[in-house]
Structure 1
Amino acid sequence: LTLVGHPPNIMIASTAGFDFMDFIRINGPFVLIIFLMLVGVMRWGLGRKAQVSDEQRARIMQFDETRAITDHRLLWRCIGVMAVVFIGFGIHGMVGLEPATIALAGAAMLLLLHPEDPREPLEEIEWPTLFFFIGLFIMVGGLTETGVVGAVGMAMVNATEGNLYALTVLVLVVTAVASALMDNIPFVATMTALLRVVAPALHPDPDSAANMFELLQHESILPIWWALSLGAGLGGNLALIGASPNVVAAGISKRSGHPVGFVRFTKYGLLITTPMIVLAAGYLWWVFFR
């Protein structure tokens, strides 16, 4: 839904120059539609399977969630800083600050409000993940410089015979399928580099563009960015390995005595996500091509 709600959205925004409100404006209505659709499926399609006994309900209601809060003062400080950060995300385009700058400023503010020994937080940083991203962008840069990314991009343009809507749907479907089978972050990183190469070919007069951002935000390529965003988000629902929350939820379910296997998850994922992808193709047509 939002710029900061999904790592691929952050990558897309930083490349194409979108701001926080762009994601609310374009993705927001579609997310609301599929949310209502999913609620209906869960209510009428899985309603009987989702029922709990009175004993289970009573045990859950006895849980005192306030006991999990060990520092109420710090909690309210965090809520205040988060509110400021979210306001900053909403107006970052007007104040000329990147979302990353606002997020880091919020983190620095919390460190000042709650000083502690930095060694423990530093030990909890996902250093392998940071180095993974460093290596990923080096690899994507190498593929771009050697012309591999450009060749793939032009092959996609030629396959759709220059039809922008066909190319938009192709990007949507390929991104969704790829995001179901692999981590969507490296795929989106490759696609953002690919679209930077393809943008001049799609622009009716690339020499008239003042800069790369103008090329990347032209109406000839704009729907493809949103197809990439929606495809990356929806594809994670197709398969168990498509998104980290799927794996976490499956682990919790298994520990609770209700294991969810790959095949079972994919069966439900296909039934729910396939109509959503079709709906996304129609939504993109309605927003950009009607």
Structure 2
Amino acid sequence: MSDLHIYVTLGVFATVILAIAFDVVDMALAAMLGVSCLVVFGILNEADIVSAMRVAGGPLLLLFGGMVVARVLSTTGVFERVGNVYLRATKGSGKRFLLLLFLLVAPLCALLPNATTVVLLAPIIIRVAKALDIDFVPAMVLAAIISNSAGLLTLVGDPATFLVGSSIGMSFGEYLRKVSLGGVAAVLVPLALVPVLMPDLWRMRRPLPPAEAAPPIKHPWFAAASLAVLAAMVVLFVVGEELPTRIVPPAVAVIGASLALLVAFTAKLEPLDNILGDIDWKTLVFLAGIFCLVEAFAKTGLLQIMALQLHAWFGSQLMQVAMMMILGIGLLSSLLANVPVVAGSLVMIKGYLVAAAVVPEMALAPEFTAWPAQTLPVFIAMMFGATLGGNATLIGASANVVAAGACAANGRRLTFARFLRYGLPIMACQLAVSAGYVYLLGRFAFKA
């Protein structure tokens, strides 16, 4: 690739990001136009796009499957009953309201895409806040931050986490043993900071409104079947890769989506067109486009140049590289979509590890999974940086944008500055805790 191609790639990528940041055009359109420009200039061809989709396929299937299952669950009436229980359980206490918010959001976000979970739970959270006559904006900020953080609890909780894990051959069970404890710590950080960041809401007391009868579930068998599909997905996430047929998480997501659609089709409560029409296709198209832009970076050699520079700075000091990954990817993920950031960083880190003679050159092949134990802290650091970096700003994660939209739809504006006031200190503390966790892993658990 010539220098001109490198400059064009940088220019197109910068233009796409600026167009999205300043809301010049829709984000999906911006990504598609960027890819089109790279094709016209001969930087990307059919083989490159196929290669990009090979990398993007797993995360995109996880997102799609989670969206379908969540959409079907939303029609069961279960969430309305959960909201009624949530309200009564607060007993009019702001402290209980916030603590129960963690219990409501975190478990679901460990298994479903964070943005989808916020879409499902936002009406419940806002309804309970209004019933208690409190400002729901801080609660929605906290819900988004919890959803992003809880993505670290499992391998499939966040597409960026899955992308890193799958690229090194990490199974669901191995993730639970080696990374999930750090995810628990990440969720506990905002829990510890809430009394400081939201003191008025924490100390608030309100009388509960008169009790109302719980809304009935009109089709109990439909609700039971939908919840059974979710339970089956969870089981397959845990044991699927140990089965003789080895069902990987993206395949589990496809199976779950298929079963959920079958349940909805059998119930005939609404056309499948409505369910599929409500899927966030724009986000899926946007991510696919960004993956293609990252592929252009790899093809022009920019990521390989960065890998060599990384080796020049740090040599074979893997723990220093891991710390840099937490900070660097964390900062980038506060401003850009974390999945493409991770996709590009993976190419760079694998190139660095080859340059540092930690792994052979064959490690650059997609099917290579024999990573030495001492390299794992670097990859795990990437997971923490990507997932937690999005907690800092309003545009750092799709869940944050969804939370802002829910606030606007209910007459309140969530500004960039207000989100930053809560999100930045939480992210800073989370990254510090994550750095400590990764350091301990490198020192005691993954010694070569």
Question: Which string of whole-angstrom CA distances, capped at 9 and with x for unpartnered residues, describes residues 64-105 of structure 1?
Answer: 5534x4432211101111111111110122122211111211
Pairing partner for 2:236 from 88, 94, 98: 88
Alignment of structure 1 residues 130-209 onto 2, 5 Å: 130-204=284-358, 206=360
- Determine what percentage of the aligned residue pairs are the same residue: 26
Partner letter of residue 110 of structure 1? A
State which of 206, 215, 218 in structure 2 corresponds to 1:66: 215
For residue 241 of structure 1, give the secondary structure of its aligned residue in structure 2: coil
Q: Are 1:112 and 2:262 counterparts?
A: yes
After the TM superposition, which of the residue ranges 169-178 and 6-15 deviates more from structure 2?
Answer: 6-15
Contact between 2:186 and 2:434, CA under 8 Å: does it hold in 1? no
Q: 1:64 to 1:238 in 2, by over 3 A?
A: farther
CA distance in 1, matches of 2:174, 2:205: 44
Instruction: Find the counterpart in structure 1 of residue 171 from structure 2.
Output: 19
Shift in CA distance, 19/203, structure 1 to aligned 2, threshold 3 Å: farther
The count of aligned residue pairs is 286
User: 1:2 Cα deviation (Å)?
Assistant: 1.1
User: What are structure 1's unaligned runs of at least 5 residues?
Assistant: none
Aligned pairs (5 A) from 1:245-256: 245-254=399-408
Tell me which of 96, 101, 105 is aligned to 2:251.
101
Letter of the structure 2 residue corresponding to residue 84 of structure 1: A
Q: 1:180 to 1:70 in 2, by over 3 A?
A: farther
Query: What's the offset of the Cα at 1:172?
Result: 0.8
Structure 2 letter corresponding to 1:287: L
**RMSD, aligned CA:** 2.8
Partner residue in 2 for 1:8: 160
The CA distance in 2 between the partners of 1:218 and 1:71, in whole Å, is 52
Letter paired with 2:440: W
1:112 aligned partner, one-letter code: L
Work out the CA distance in 2 between the residues paired with 1:194 and 1:114: 44
Higher mean C-alpha deviation, range 39-48 or range 239-248: 39-48
C-alpha contact 1:180 1:241 (8 A) present in aligned 2: yes
Q: Is the 8 A contact 1:12 1:192 kept in 2?
A: yes
Tell me which residue corresponds to 2:99: none
Contact 2:261 2:272 in 1 (8 A): no
Shift of 1:126: 3.5
TM-score (norm 2): 0.57
Distance 1:265 1:10 in 2: 26
Distance 1:136 1:261, change over 3 A: closer
1:37 maps to what in 2? 189
Q: Which one has more relative contact order, counting CA pairs under 8 Å at least 6 apart?
A: 2
What are the superposed Cα offsets for residues 226-280 of structure 1, whole Å, 9 maximum, x if unpaired? 1111011111111111112222333444555654421232132222221221121
For the 8 Å contact 2:230–2:256, the answer to whether it is kept is yes
Structure 2 unaligned runs (5+)?
1-152
- After superposition, the C-alpha distances for 1:107-158 in whole angstroms (9 at most, x for unaligned) are 2223333325443334334443333343333332332232121111222232
Query: In structure 1, how many angstroms separate the alpha carbons of the residues matched to 2:434 and 2:166?
Result: 23
**Residue of structure 2 equivalent to 1:272:** 426
Q: Distance in 2 between matches of 1:144 and 1:203?
A: 20
> When the two structures are superposed, what TM-score results if normalisation uses the length of structure 1?
0.85
Alignment-mate amino acid for residue 170 of structure 2? F
